[in-house]
Amino acid sequence: MDGWDHYRRGDQQRYEPTRYAGRPAPPNSQLLRPLTSPPSPFSPSAEGRSAQGRMSGPLIRQSPALSAPTTSPIAKASATLNRLIALMEQHVAQWRPEAIHLACQRMRSSGAPLAYDIGFLADAPLMNIMSHTIEDWVIARRLPCEFYVGFQRLSLMRMQTQRYAALASCVRYVYAYGLDDTVGPQSLFAPNVLRFGIQPRHGADLLWFWFLVVDHPYQRMALLGQQRSGYIWNRSFAERVYEGFWTFNPNVTQQIVVALRQAARAVYYN
């Protein structure tokens, strides 16, 4: 099997990646190994029920149409993320933008994860503030986690080369997802940075999501937003609005990790 080491342990069949996109893949990466089931039942954090900063008025949910068969792994993973957003909406308060700004400042200054899960309806600049808060928090603590990030378009990673070079220097792996629209050589070469470029044959479902996930045995958190307005293929973020949540619940985070691993395996093998 070209590029793969294949071995058996007991009754389980496992695979170790030795090559990705022409470069050696980390030998201990867990991403492409057989998946474990997500925690069940759904159990959002009790703190997430806080009414702090709740936004008034109902939200209009308009899920983007799927462009691939709903049985495809990418569509299934995307459906899981969409389901989690809908479930968390029932348990987590919607925070106003100014409350989210203050929460990010507190997390930066105190270094402690937030006490509450956050629900949001956010524009791209606010999504960037939350994303940078998480990235800076990981870098400052040199946390040896597995870090999942959805750029929607992988070309956007070029704009954050220094930031992700700093992340790669401390995390175990960075798994980057997005439309494979990069032209020319990559700006960041690191053996623990794996890019999963989504092609048209995979469907565009996952491209509607902006996410960052920190997966570490002692600290799990996830920022997950689904684009609700604006044209997904437009390079401008001016009209984009995202609905989602920022959670510190390990059970919810693990469900996101399992969905993203399913998507990664689909991209890698197809």
Tell me the residue type at 82.
N
Cβ-based neighbour number of residue 51 at 10 Å: 7
**What distance in Å separates the CA atoms of residue 139 and residue 86, rounded to the nearest whole number?**
31
CB 210 within 8 Å of CB 127: yes
- Beta strands 193-198 and 118-123 are unpaired
Tell me the residue type at 124.
A
Q: Report how far Cα 35 is from the mean position of its chain's Cα atoms.
A: 17
The per-residue pLDDT for 102 is 95
Task: Provide the CB-side half-sphere exposure for 17 (13 A, CA).
Answer: 22
**What distance in Å separates the CA atoms of residue 104 and residue 113, rounded to the nearest whole number?**
10
The per-residue pLDDT for 74 is 87
The per-residue pLDDT for 48 is 40
Tokens matching residue 264: 């990664």
- Beta strands 173-179 and 146-153 are parallel
The per-residue pLDDT for 210 is 95
Instruction: State phi, psi for 67 to the nearest 5 degrees.
Output: -110, 5
Which domains, from first to last, does the chain contain?
A: 50-269 (3.30.870)
**What distance in Å separates the CA atoms of residue 177 and residue 263, rounded to the nearest whole number?**
9
Give residues with Cβ within 8 angstroms of 225, minimum separation 6. Answer: 120, 122, 127, 209, 210, 211, 242, 243, 244
**What distance in Å separates the CA atoms of residue 10 and residue 270, rounded to the nearest whole number?**
28
CA-based radius of gyration for the chain: 18
**What distance in Å separates the CA atoms of residue 207 and residue 151, rounded to the nearest whole number?**
8
**What distance in Å separates the CA atoms of residue 66 and residue 202, rounded to the nearest whole number?**
11
**Which stretches of 11-123 are DSSP H helices?**
73-91, 97-110
**What distance in Å separates the CA atoms of residue 179 and residue 196, rounded to the nearest whole number?**
8
Q: Tens-digit pLDDT profile for the chain (270 aa)?
A: 332 232 223 333 322 333 333 334 444 455 544 444 444 444 444 444 333 333 333 333 344 444 445 567 888 999 999 999 999 999 999 999 999 999 999 999 998 888 889 999 999 999 999 999 999 999 999 999 999 999 888 888 888 889 999 999 999 999 999 887 776 666 778 899 998 988 777 677 888 999 999 999 999 999 999 998 877 666 666 788 999 999 999 999 999 999 999 999 988 877
**What distance in Å separates the CA atoms of residue 135 and residue 79, rounded to the nearest whole number?**
26
The per-residue pLDDT for 39 is 46
Q: Report how far Cα 230 is from the mean position of its chain's Cα atoms.
A: 20
